[in-house]
Structure 1
């Protein structure tokens, strides 16, 4: 069977299973899972960057950009259809990343991480000063619709959309990571100089991964902005970006589905610890992260994902001479 068709077939099957699960779980769990999908989408983009040896602490910029652009469209233009809002949010996140990429894609290591975080914090500072869009308080987002119909008050409709988007994004990323371009990105993590010798541009590879991560972040920001019914500058704050990095590291880059599971675990720990242990949920997540780093250094997803090739660069054939 064609690997691409198999990937999308498994994604469709998984989406149907989780939609069916949504019919029997309580409304609070639907909301938690919807938020987890939003964070998972951002973390999935971070996984793509990690595969290329890049770590961004500024994904909140694109997460916030998607949420703000789609939220303002809903408020000012009266567009509340989720398909339109998600598309606009994804495009907004990708475009912002495309504008930023010429500046950041040339850097590596701590310089890349700190520069992305600085840009995110600049956006946070600017948004808090613009009173026309709510300043530091942000603004409310109207209730969403789908093809002219209001989504159910229980949150099931929004949850079902989130599941479909997560399945589609995971399938697309899996196909991309296994493609020639995806293997080049992984090879760049191992040996950038070798990639340049083979005729590929590390700058172009980094730019593509960065734009993809920005689009996924904008998609996640739109979803969570609608789910919460409110958008504010904190979407761009460095701690928000840090949570997404935490989720991506927990999931690892061996699997495209693990980030959604770790995002759900993070949300559940935050919810229950906030209720029963108000000041200790960060400690519990920290202990969980330490255990994963010690016993599963490639992330939770390595438990079921196929072992990665030792050197992706070996998969790239020498150009004919």
Structure 2
């Protein structure tokens, strides 16, 4: 009963937060809406990383599906003539799911560092292919023209705002779905796989099937984030599949925490704000500034930023 009440509160909290962000959109400066759009899109990828962390697996190659999502949108618009944002996002997600179904059967046989390195290898293979593909712009990538929204063409001045609203809406829906999944029997069984895989098999559940489904689900969410990033930035390039991009997603997951579905969104936003202001105020030393700030956060908040919220909630419950 308590778990059900907590789940319901989380759902309403996500709805309330998403509604507030959408209502506040008209009064936000353009730079903030753009930053939030990219942050929430990347947070979807981080959610994919967190889902696998819950099962005891760390993916250093989640950028593979992030890149597939971005290039799926770009290729669909440029070579297939698809101009609707929803159709492009659906296309890129389906491509990512097909790849995940193929790779997942192999990857879910491995654990720990072997899983991490194999995911990284697949991501770097995609990066190498894209770098050598001159028809796709090689290292420069290519631009994506503005798209339609269910047949409606947004005015040029409002295009970024519409994309922001779309991203917040999709992020809220995805967060609710994942939160309910993680609180379901399957989601809790994934934590059991992390703690003791043999006992899960003895209970009559297949740990391999659980990990496989989780891997495919995470791939779909990550591709959705990549597609939204491509639409918002209006450009894609092979760096979307680079190992540093995958490392960034893992870092954001650690920064925000893995104990709540809202943590990746908080982590992604804090990460983006730190990087933005570090670049603005220390353009020649922004990597050092950002590294120091993140190091302090990790040292003093080893369970992520969400642990602060959890402690405050615990104090309020005990008061």
**TM > 0.5 fold call:** yes
Moved more, 198-207 or 161-170: 198-207
Residues 196, 279 of structure 1: alpha-carbon distance in 2 compared, 3 angstrom cutoff: farther
Instruction: Decide which of 190, 201, 215 is 2:206's aligned counterpart.
Output: 201
In 1: Cα distance, 2:308 partner to 2:256 partner: 10
Matches within 5 A, 1:1-321: 7-152=10-155, 153-154=157-158, 155-305=160-310
In 2: Cα distance, 1:295 partner to 1:274 partner: 24
Question: 1:93–1:216: 8 Å Cα contact kept in structure 2?
Answer: no
1:19: Cα distance to partner? 0.7
In 2: Cα distance, 1:248 partner to 1:94 partner: 22
Question: 2:278–2:290: 8 Å Cα contact kept in structure 1?
Answer: no
What's the Cα RMSD here?
Answer: 2.0
Residues 303, 194 of structure 1: alpha-carbon distance in 2 compared, 3 angstrom cutoff: same
1:305: Cα distance to partner? 4.4
SS in 1 for 2:27: coil
Gaps of 5+ in 2: 313-319
In 2: Cα distance, 1:279 partner to 1:195 partner: 51
In 2: Cα distance, 1:217 partner to 1:211 partner: 10
1:285: Cα distance to partner? 3.3
1:78: Cα distance to partner? 2.5
Moved more, 270-279 or 211-220: 270-279
In 2: Cα distance, 1:205 partner to 1:292 partner: 33
Residues 88, 7 of structure 1: alpha-carbon distance in 2 compared, 3 angstrom cutoff: farther
Question: 2:257–2:267: 8 Å Cα contact kept in structure 1?
Answer: no
Q: Deviations over 1:47-80 (max 9, x none)?
A: 1011011100101111111111121111123222
Question: 1:44–1:256: 8 Å Cα contact kept in structure 2?
Answer: yes
Give the TM-score taking structure 2 as reference length: 0.90
Residues 202, 282 of structure 1: alpha-carbon distance in 2 compared, 3 angstrom cutoff: farther
Question: 1:54–1:109: 8 Å Cα contact kept in structure 2?
Answer: yes
Moved more, 9-18 or 208-217: 9-18
Moved more, 180-189 or 257-266: 257-266
Moved more, 126-135 or 285-294: 285-294
In the comparison of the two structures, how many residue pairs are matched?
A: 307
In 2: Cα distance, 1:187 partner to 1:282 partner: 38
SS in 2 for 1:93: helix
Gaps of 5+ in 1: 308-321
Give the TM-score taking structure 1 as reference length: 0.90
In 2: Cα distance, 1:298 partner to 1:262 partner: 12
1:111: Cα distance to partner? 1.0
1:5: Cα distance to partner? 6.0
Question: 1:52–1:206: 8 Å Cα contact kept in structure 2?
Answer: yes
